[in-house]
Amino acid sequence: VARADVPWEVLLADPDTLRRYEAKVYRRGPDRCEYWLGGISDSGHGKFRGGSRAKGSQVPSWVVSAHVLGYGIVHGAKALGTLLIRHSCDSPSCQQPDHWLLGTRRDNVLDYASRSRLAGHTLADVRGAAGRAVAIRDAILTAQKEGADADTIEAAIRAAIIAGQPGGAWQDGLW
Ligand SMILES: [Zn+2]
CA–centroid distance, residue 20 to ligand 1 (Å): 20
pLDDT of residue 159: 94
Containing H/E element for 53? none
Instruction: Report the DSSP beta bridge partners of residue 49.
Output: 63
pTM of the complete model: 0.90
CB-CB neighbours of 129 under 10 Å: 22
34 CA distance to ligand 1 middle (Å): 6
- Give the Cα separation of 14 and 71 in Å (integer): 15
Give distance in angstroms: CA of 67 to centre of ligand 1. 11
pLDDT of residue 118: 77
Residue 149 has pLDDT above 70, yes or no: yes
pLDDT in tens, 9-34: 999 999 999 999 999 999 999 989 99
Ligand 1 centre distance from Cα of residue 26 (Å): 11
Distance 89 CA to ligand 1 centre (A): 5
> According to the model, what pLDDT value does residue 3 have?
84
H or E stretch covering 165: none
Going by their DSSP bridges, the two strands 39-40 and 100-103 should be labelled as unpaired
Q: Enumerate the H helices of 41-127 as residue ranges.
A: 66-75, 105-115
Ligand 1: distance of its center to the CA of 10 in Å? 27
What lies within 8 Å, CB to CB, of 102 at 6+ separation is 81, 83, 84, 85, 86
pLDDT digits (tens, 9 = 90+) for 33-91: 999 999 999 999 999 999 988 888 888 899 999 999 999 999 999 999 888 999 999 99
Task: Kindly give the distance from the C-alpha atom of residue 100 to the centroid of ligand 1, in angstroms, as a whole number.
Answer: 8
Q: Give Cα separations from 72 to 66, 124, 163 (angstroms).
A: 10, 30, 33
pLDDT band at 174 (very low <50, low <70, confident <90, very high): very low
SS3 at position 50: strand
Q: What pLDDT sits at residue 57?
A: 84
* Residue 172 reports pLDDT greater than 60: no
Residue 167 has pLDDT above 80, yes or no: no
Q: Residue 98 C-alpha to ligand 1 middle, in angstroms?
A: 8
Kindly give the distance from the C-alpha atom of residue 172 to the centroid of ligand 1, in angstroms, as a whole number. 9
Report pLDDT digits (tens) over 90-114.
999 999 999 999 988 888 888 888 8
CA 9 – ligand 1 centroid, Å: 25
Q: Which residues pair with 63 in a beta bridge?
A: 49
| Cβ 68 vs Cβ 12: under 8 Å | no
